[in-house]
Amino acid sequence: MRNAGLGGWPARRARMTPDRTAFVLADRSVTYAEVHERTTRLASRLRASGVRAGDRVAYLGRNHVAFVETMFAAHLLGAIFVPLNFRLAAPEIGYMLDHSGATVLIYAPECAETVRALPVPPPHLVAVGAPAPGESHYETWLAAGDPTPIDTPVRPDDPALILYTSGTTGRPKGALLTHANLVWNCFNLLLGVDVTSEEVTLISAPLFHVAALNQTLLPTFLKGGRSVIMPSWDVDECYDLIGEHRVTWMFGVTTMFAAFARSPRWAEADLSSLRHLMAGGAAVPVALIRAYQERGLVFCQGYGLTETAPGATFLDAGQSARKAGSAGVPVFFADVRVVRPDGTEAAAGQPGEVLIQGPNVTPGYWRDPEASAAAFAEGGWFRSGDVAALDEDGHLHVIDRLKDMYISGGENVYPAEVEAVIFEHPAVAEAAVLGVPDATWGEAGRAFVVARPGASLTAEELRAFLRPRLATYKIPRYVDITDDLPKTGSGKIQKPRLRRLPLPDAG
């Protein structure tokens, strides 16, 4: 087989375990043999539409088997897959399609309105739902494809994905990941987590997000396990699927795990099938980790970025209790440093910027040589933009984004640290802290807090809780008690939107 990339995976899996179930979506199950046949048919249709090696194929929609089929079909041809955030507006999607140069867009029914509003749609539109005039219907189009095996030469270092960053400052950048980046990330994950061929993995985070795709679905596929796909995150559906399918492994971000633990079903639900819970995307408050551990669940935190495919560090299950709150040590095939502003190594316990090097690290950004050059420090180390510290045992403790740190009265304040302490208050469900201008101190803290259902909380009660737990300069001057926090498609809190809100009274 000349395809050394992900496009060859369905054929390789089908010849090993053709009758095993690869994917479950609602009442539909798909075997590995069916994945192979369907992706081959789809690839033949893409090829008939003019797609060749190096071309870009995009997908827009919630989690679905069609997402995975489109990815593998593109990779069968040596094309580059561009998964898009279905929560974005038409102008944002339009920019990404134009910037990537995608010639085919396959989209789900819930995104039809967005597609209709695109300024300049790609030449070929394929609808998983009802097509508009001039578009193709996904299932009909696929079924008419040729099942004859395709073996396009693909090298490990060829580009596989363009993943657009959230674009919190300026236009989003398209992070390139090669087939080798993805394979090495799978190796690192499988060396850190004992994934088996009997794994039942819940795909509950959005697949356009690097962690859901590369940390759960691809390693499960590689091992021949079963991926149970949730179209989008829903707490009750998560409980239902865990019970119905005896889910063994799932990934989530902090907001997802917080909501899961707040559910009335938390205390009584049968969660005994879960062997591993894996969190990433942002620092996880220790109080939340402890809640899961007290429930008898193994809760492991990792650290990484889209640009590192994403795993950079991981906390082994055996260390999950002793090192709760740590993001673990560097994954097997990668190295991590923490450096001072002058580039020298930070001492144990001293905050610094995280640098990463390894075969899982991006070669750069699509059509952006300046951003690509700026992303790497001397020696080819990728600059994460994150602040962390290594403890005496070499475990990484992520503190915050470098850009989120603010200086109050000459002292550095890391919002994630403050958020973790706020989260310890029994009435708090969610929290976000950021720095705002202040005439006296230069900058001061502003906290946005969501109370648990049925709980009451005032700004002064929260400050009283924080006083014995935090230095005075770290206690937010402004506290907003709110019903909800804006989030990205991957579940991260959108602090740029919070920064634009007018300041309340400091009292």
Q: pLDDT by residue for the chain (507 residues), tens digit each?
A: 999 999 999 999 999 999 999 999 999 999 999 999 999 999 999 999 999 999 999 999 999 999 999 999 999 999 999 999 998 889 889 999 999 999 999 999 999 999 999 999 999 999 999 999 999 999 999 999 999 999 999 999 999 999 998 644 457 899 999 999 999 999 999 999 999 999 999 999 999 989 999 999 999 999 999 999 999 999 999 999 999 999 999 999 887 898 899 999 999 999 999 999 999 876 677 888 889 999 999 988 899 999 999 999 999 888 988 998 899 999 999 999 999 999 999 999 999 999 999 999 999 999 999 999 999 999 999 999 898 999 999 999 988 777 787 878 777 788 888 998 999 999 999 999 999 988 778 789 999 999 999 999 999 999 999 999 988 889 999 999 999 999 877 778 888 899 899 987 765
Pair 131, 66 in one domain: yes
CATH number at residue 378: 3.40.50.12780
Determine, yes or no, domain membership for 197: no
Q: What's the confidence (pLDDT) of residue 169?
A: 44
* Boundary-marking domain end, from 92, 126, 155: 155
Sequence-separated (6 or more) residues with CB below 8 Å from residue 478: 436, 444, 445, 446, 447, 503, 504, 506
CATH number at residue 24: 3.40.50.980
> What's the total number of domains in the chain?
3
Pair 442, 356 in one domain: no
Pair 424, 480 in one domain: yes
Pair 397, 453 in one domain: no
Pair 258, 344 in one domain: yes
d(CA 240, CA 260): 12
DSSP 154: B
Question: 335-344: b or e for each residue (b if 16 or more CB lie within 10 Å)?
Answer: ebbbbeeeee
d(CA 442, CA 429): 29
* Boundary-marking domain end, from 155, 176, 198: 155
Q: What's the confidence (pLDDT) of residue 168?
A: 40
Determine, yes or no, domain membership for 199: no
* Boundary-marking domain end, from 139, 155, 171: 155
Determine, yes or no, domain membership for 97: yes
CATH number at residue 491: 3.30.300.30
Pair 459, 328 in one domain: no
Q: What's the confidence (pLDDT) of residue 506?
A: 62
Pair 382, 431 in one domain: no
Pair 125, 273 in one domain: no
The answer, as to whether pTM is greater than 0.75, is yes
Q: What's the confidence (pLDDT) of residue 403?
A: 77
Determine, yes or no, domain membership for 185: no
d(CA 426, CA 446): 20
Q: Residue 379, class by beta-carbon neighbours within 10 Å (0-12 exposed, 13-18 middle, 19+ buried)?
A: exposed
Range of the domain at 250: 236-402
Give CA separation, 288 vs 167, 178, 278, in Å: 28, 35, 13
Pair 80, 61 in one domain: yes
